[in-house]
A and B are shown apart, each in its own frame.
Chain A
């Protein structure tokens, strides 16, 4: 594997470029189709409200997938990811408008491990004022060149 970033050049505490991703209802429908997760809480407002959710929410797996890009775009080779874990602490609520929600992802090198492995910790925020943390303990372990 060949990554854009080499292990030797990475330092603990180093931030990766902060990323911002819009999330619309259309994205959720498309993700439902591609992933096979047709849970109606991700596309049917009537159903979502009926089970006590504030509105349609994004698939946690969609949030997890796009948050990973903070690392895979930086590393270059997405196959360099050897471990990726998250907790879904708050839902990403996606309103039925043309703007949708915004997901902002910060990433920082948290630890250098043996075997050219680096742990990157992610912080993902969304919500009306963009301050709600939607992922907890979001960690990507990536093998660099």
Chain B
């Protein structure tokens, strides 16, 4: 089933504020098997010039994935999420995410395509502090594999 093209260009209201916790950064770093001291030891992070623990480069997915679900799981879009795999991902950082940041994501639908029976949607998540400081942008492309894929 083709996706509803009218979603392209649609932006969603900012997500509820997400406060980045030290323990969440530590948990995420442990889950990716990464013992970089800047993820666990506040003094080590400060020695590198960070105000607090720094989040791993892909940590933003913790915010951007549920933010993107506003679009991907909307029945009106017509995406079969059971057949979704991740196609592409990009993070572009204005500055690293740190423990203590209070962040919100504004999701915009960038592109909707159908290629070889696969439905493909690209969203952009602009991540900023609740005070309005831009922090990062997450671009996600999801592919819902057609029945023959």
**Interface membership of B65, Cβ < 8 A:** yes
Given contacts A35-B61, A86-B88, A78 and B38 within 8 Å (CB-CB): yes
Over the window 18-59 of chain B, the binary record of Cβ atoms lying under 8 Å from chain A Cβ atoms (1 yes, 0 no) is 000000000110111110101100000001111000101110
> A46 at the A/B interface (Cβ < 8 Å)?
no
Contact between chains at B96 and A88 (CB < 8 Å): no
* A85-B90 contact in complex given A34-B31, A37-B65, A60-B85, C-beta closer than 8 Å: yes
Query: Is the pair A72, B57 in contact by a Cβ cutoff of 8 Å?
Result: yes
Nearest residue (CB) in B for A61 is: B61
Q: Are B30 and A83 in contact, CB atoms less than 8 angstroms apart? A: no
Q: A2-B49, A79-B48 are in contact. Are A65 and B58 (CB under 8 A)?
A: yes
Q: Judge whether B30 and A81 touch: CB under 8 Å.
A: no
CB <8 Å contact, B91 and A83: yes
Smallest CB-CB separation from A77: which chain B residue? B48
Q: Which 8 A-B pairs have the closest CB atoms?
A: A34-B31, A85-B90, A60-B86, A79-B96, A65-B32, A81-B57, A79-B54, A65-B58
Specify which chain A residues have a CB less than 8 angstroms from the CB of B31 in the assembled complex.
Answer: 27, 30-31, 33-35
B101 to chain A, nearest CB (A): 12
CA distance A124 to B36 in the complex (A): 21
A122 sits at the interface (CB 8 A)? no
- Pick 6 A–B contacts, CB within 8 A, sort by A: A1-B49, A52-B149, A68-B57, A82-B92, A82-B93, A83-B90
Residues of A within 8 A of B (CB): 1-2, 21, 27, 30-31, 33-37, 39, 41, 51-52, 57, 59-62, 64-66, 68-69, 72-73, 76-79, 81-88, 91, 140
| In the complex with contacts A34-B30, A51-B83, A52-B149, A84-B90 CB distance below 8 A | yes
Contacts A37-B61, A61-B61, A62-B32; A78 near B56 (Cβ below 8 A): yes
Give Cα A68 to B30, complex, Å: 14
B28–A34 contact, CB under 8 A? yes
Most chain-B Cβ atoms within 10 A of its Cβ — which of A57, A83, A140? A83
Once the chains bind, are B88 and A88 in contact (CB under 8 Å)? Answer: yes
Contact A21:B90 (CB < 8 A) given known A36-B66, A64-B58, A91-B85:
no
**Mask of B56-81 contacts with A, CB within 8 angstroms, 1/0:** 11100110011000000000000000
Q: Distance in Å from the Cβ of A51 to the closest Cβ of chain B?
A: 5
State whether the Cβ of B5 lies closer than 8 Å to any Cβ in chain A: no
Known: A36-B65, A41-B85, A87-B88. A81 touches B93 (CB 8 A): yes
